[in-house]
Amino acid sequence: MLRGKKVCLRARLRSDIEVLHEPLRVDPELWMLTDNDPWTPESLDVALARFDKRQAEEQTRFVGFTVATLVDVSDTLPASTVVGDGCLWGIDLHARSAHIGLTLIADARGHGLGRETVDLLVDYAFRVRGLHRLQCETHSDNAAMLGAAEAAGFRREGELRQAGWRSGRHVDEVLLGLLAEEWRGQR
C-alpha cells in the first residue's frame, strides 16, 4: 500500500469495481474527459469480467490501484472511502517509461486528493519501479489533471491540436513529462 496524508493507493479488489462502476463508468462526460476510447454503455458484469481477466494476466504493462481516503475529507468522504482509481499504463521496460492516469468520483474532487494521488504514482514509478520517464496526456480543458501534474513537477512538452474527441467536438491534448532526475531534484 502506498500512503499519503489523505489517500492511499492499494491493490484493486473486485468489490472496488462494484463501488466505482456507477460513479466512474456510466457517465459519458467523465469517461470522455479521462479516456481516449469512446464511451459505450457497460454493465457491471462486463466490468467485473474484464477485472477478472486482467487479474489473471501478467501485469507488466499496466499497474492499477484503488484510491481510498485515509482521513475524513468531508461529511460525504469519511476515512476508508473508495474514491477512484489510479494507474501506470503503457509501461515500457526497455525505455523505462510509463504513462500515469487517474479518475476520482465527483465528491472527491477539489480536496487535493488528485494531487496526492499523482505524487504517490510518481513516487511508485521512480522509487519502487526504477522508471526513468513518466508521461501524462490530458485534454487542454482538464484543469484538475493539468494542475495536479504540474504541481507534481510535470512539464508541458507539447500540445496536440484537436487530437481528442469529446462531446461532439475536437479538443486539444496536452502532453506532459517528468524525468526521474527532475523528480529527485525537487524532493
- Tens of pLDDT, residues 36-82: 777 788 889 998 998 888 877 667 888 999 999 999 998 889 999 99
- Where residue 168 falls (left for φ over 0; alpha for ψ -120 to 50; beta otherwise) is left
Task: Answer whether 61's CB lies under 8 Å from 91's CB.
Answer: yes
User: Cβ neighbours of residue 28 under 8 Å, at least 6 residues apart?
Assistant: 39
What is the CATH code of the structural domain delimited by 2-186? 3.40.630.30
Cα separation, 123 vs 3, whole angstroms: 11
Residue 10, judged by CB atoms within 10 A of its CB (0-12, 13-18, 19+), counts as: middle
Domain ranges of the chain: 2-186
The CA-to-CA distance between both ends of the chain, in Å, stands at 21
Q: How far is residue 37's CA from residue 149's CA, in Å, rounded to a whole number?
A: 21
Q: What is the pLDDT along the chain (187 residues), one digit of tens a residue?
A: 999 999 999 999 999 998 988 887 777 777 777 777 777 888 899 989 988 888 776 678 889 999 999 999 988 899 999 999 999 999 999 999 999 999 999 899 999 999 999 999 999 999 999 999 999 999 999 999 999 999 999 999 999 999 988 888 999 999 999 999 999 998 7
